[in-house]
Structures are given as C-alpha cells and as structure tokens.
C-alpha cells in the first residue's frame, strides 16, 4: 500500500494490488529470459555492493565510542533521561 495514504474501498485496493502484480510478473518474465551469463553478471554486481567487513568493523567501533561517551556522561552528571 502507498505510504501515507489510506485506501478506503475494495475496488481501489484491488487496482493497487493488480498493478503491483503486473510489475512482479514482468520482472519474473525478464529474469526468465536472461541468459545464465547475464544472471551471473547481475549476481556479481549485487555481491560487489555488499558491505565490507572493514566498514562493519568501523561502524561497530564508532557505536562503541558513542556508548562509551554516554556512559561517561552518565557517570559525571548522573542518569540522563
């Protein structure tokens, strides 16, 4: 369903659902037509966009640093709410 919009009647809901089913059917059809080489190329691109372990480690270190600062503030100023 579209965000921020309430679909109130059944006809509108069915029309919305039918449009998205057409999109899904088209996508399935296009994937079925692709050669194995093209499918492998798409998969390779998707795997290339995977978040690296290095960036995950940096993010975890940053989160830990923020938590440490908050703990220190709580220690110095009492419990913050």
Report which of residues 79 and 27 the model is more confident about. Answer: 27
pLDDT in tens, 21-68: 999 999 999 999 999 999 988 888 887 766 666 777 888 899 999 999
10 Å CB burial of residue 24 (0-12, 13-18, 19+) is exposed
pLDDT, residue 52, reads 65
Quick one: 23 and 41 in the same domain? yes
Q: Per-residue pLDDT for 9 more than 70?
A: yes
2, part of any domain: no
- The arithmetic mean of pLDDT across residues 74-79, rounded, is 82
18, part of any domain: yes
Quick one: 45 and 58 in the same domain? no
Quick one: 42 and 32 in the same domain? yes
Quick one: 45 and 65 in the same domain? no
Quick one: 13 and 35 in the same domain? yes
Quick one: 34 and 58 in the same domain? no
- Does residue 9 sit in helix, strand or coil? coil
Distances (CA, A) of 26 to 23, 37, 40, 41, 53: 5, 20, 20, 20, 35
Domain span holding position 55:
51-81
């Amino acid at each position: 369903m579209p965000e921020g919009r309430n679909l109130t009647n059944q006809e509108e809901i069915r029309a919305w659902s039918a449009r998205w089913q057409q999109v899904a059917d088209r996508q399935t059809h296009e994937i079925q037509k692709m050669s194995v080489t093209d499918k492998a190329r798409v998969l390779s691109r998707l795997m290339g966009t995977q978040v690296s372990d290095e960036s995950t480690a940096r993010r975890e270190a940053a989160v830990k640093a923020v938590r440490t600062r908050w703990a220190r503030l709580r220690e110095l100023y009492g419990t913050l709410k």
